[in-house]
Amino acid sequence: MEDKSDKHERIKLSEKDLKIENKDLIGSGAFGEVFLATIISTKEKVAVKKVFQDKRYKNRELAIMKELKHPNIIFLKSFFYTKSKQSKEEEYLNVVMDYVPTPLSKLISNNKNNNTKFSDIILKLLSFQMLKGIGYLHSLGICHRDIKPQNILINTTDYSLKICDFGCAKHLVEGESNISYICSRFFRPPELVLGCTDYSTQVDVWSIGCVIAELCLNSPIFPGKSAKEQLYQIMKILGSPTKEELISMNGNCQNIEIPKIESIPWATIFKDKNDDPLYIDLVSKLLVYDPGSRLSPYKALCHPYFDDLRKSNLKLPNGRFLPSHIFKFQKCEINYDRQSIEFLLSLI
C-alpha cells in the first residue's frame, strides 16, 4: 500500500530556540560534532550536527537531506548557521535531526559482551528495514556510500530503524566518475577496493549484507586491516573472483594477478550463530562479487526469509506490535521497482 501517513514536517529553528549542552556530545569525528539538544518550546529532544561550512562550496549532505522523508531515514527537522566564537569569518552549519538514542553498533557490542544474540524476529525486522531504507534512497538515485552499524539508529522500544549520516552520500549519475576510496573499510564492496569509479548504488547492498552478517556474528565478517587485506578477507570466504567477476567489478582489473583461494561454505561461516538456511541464502545473495548479480533492495525484501514479518498480529519479544510502516511504500519506491513491491504486497 502507498504510504501517506508520515506527518513529519520541517520547522524553522535558530540557536536561541535550542538548549544545547556541550556535555551532551553524542559523537564526533572529521565531519564535526553531534550534540543532544532540546527544543525549548516543545521540550522535544533532537540531535544537532555541527560542521564547518566552507562558503566556497555547497553542503551536499544538507542538499540531500532536504530531499529525504521516509520512516527508515533520519529526518531533517531544521537547519541554521552560526558564527565561530574564534573568528566571525568562520561559519558553521547546524543540522537538526530526530534524536534516536541507540546506534546499532552499541546493540551488537552488547550482544558480544553478554554472549547474547538478537531474537529471530528482531533480526528479520532490522534487516528488512535496512534494505527498505536503502531502497528508498536508491529510488531517488542516491547512494549512501557509508552504511555501517554506527550509521544505523534503533529505537529499542519497537525496533524501528533509521539510517543516518549522509556525509558521503551522493546522487550517482551514469557516466560520471566517482571516488572509489569511500565507505568504511570493513563494509567497502570489492569493486571499490579494486578502484572502480563508475559503480552503482549496489555498493550499498554489499554494505548492508555485511551489516546483516554482523548482526549474527557480533563482529565484522570482513575485518581487513588495509585495503589490500580487505580484498583477501573477502576472498577467504567468497573464494577468488573469476575473470568475468573481476571485469564486472572493474574492467581495468581483468588481467591482474589474483591468488587462487577456495570459498568457504556459508553454513560454515554461520555455524553456531545462525543455522536458518533462509538467512544464509539471503546473505549469500547480497554478498556477491558481481554488483549486477546482488539482489536489489526491493527484490531482497521479497526473499522468503522475511515471510514471518507478514504474519498477522505478530509481536516483538517485549509484547509490542511491529512498526506500522514496514509494509507501506511511497510513490517513488513503487515507481522504482513496481514488480517487486506489488509481489511483496500480494503476500500480505
Between the CA of residue 319 and those of 155, 157, 158, what are the distances in Å? 15, 10, 9
Region 329-334: what's the mean pLDDT?
Answer: 97
- CATH tag for 23-35+45-98 (out of 1.10.10.60, 3.30.200.20, 3.20.20.70, 3.30.470.20): 3.30.200.20
Query: Is residue 262 scored above 90 in pLDDT?
Result: yes
Band (224; pLDDT cuts 50, 70, 90): very high
pLDDT computed for residue 5 by the predictor: 47
Please tell me the distance from the alpha carbon of residue 319 to that of residue 292, in angstroms, as a whole number: 40
Q: Quote the CA–CA distance of 75 and 68 in Å, as a whole number.
A: 7
pLDDT of residue 42: 95
Mean predicted confidence (pLDDT) in 290-303: 98
Residue 206 has pLDDT above 60, yes or no: yes
User: Which residues are catalytically annotated?
Assistant: 146
The CATH class given to the 102-346 domain equals mainly alpha
Between CA 131 and CA 135 the distance in angstroms is 6
> What pLDDT, on the 0 to 100 scale, is given for residue 56?
72
**Cell numbers found for residue 59:** 553542503
| Single-letter amino acid, residue 53 | Q
- Domain extent listing, the chain: 23-35+45-98, 102-346
CA dihedral 62, 64, 70, 73 (to 10 degrees): -70
| Average pLDDT of every residue of the chain | 92
Amino acid occupying residue 174:
E
Q: Residue 324: pLDDT above 80?
A: yes
59 sits in which H/E element: none
Q: What is the pLDDT of residues 231-252, one digit of tens each?
A: 999 999 999 999 999 999 998 8
β-bridge partners, 25: 35
Rounded Cα distance between 301 and 303, Å, is 5
Sign of torsion over alpha carbons 281, 334, 324, 310: negative
Higher local confidence (pLDDT), 286 or 311: 286
Give mean pLDDT, residues 202-219.
Answer: 98
Strand order in the sheet with 76-83: 18-29, 32-39, 45-53, 91-98, 76-83
Sign, Cα dihedral of 147, 150, 156, 162 = negative
Weakest-pLDDT range from 49-53, 65-69, 117-121, 190-194: 49-53
By the 10 Å C-beta count (0-12 exposed, 13-18 middle, 19+ buried), 157 is classed as exposed
pLDDT value, residue 84 = 79
16-31 tens-digit pLDDT: 999 987 667 887 766 7
Could you give the CA distance from residue 275 to residue 271 in angstroms, rounded to a whole number?
6
Does residue 2 carry a pLDDT above 60? no
For 79-109, write each residue's pLDDT tens digit. 999 987 777 778 999 999 999 999 999 999 9
User: CB burial class (10 A; 0-12, 13-18, 19+) of residue 96?
Assistant: buried
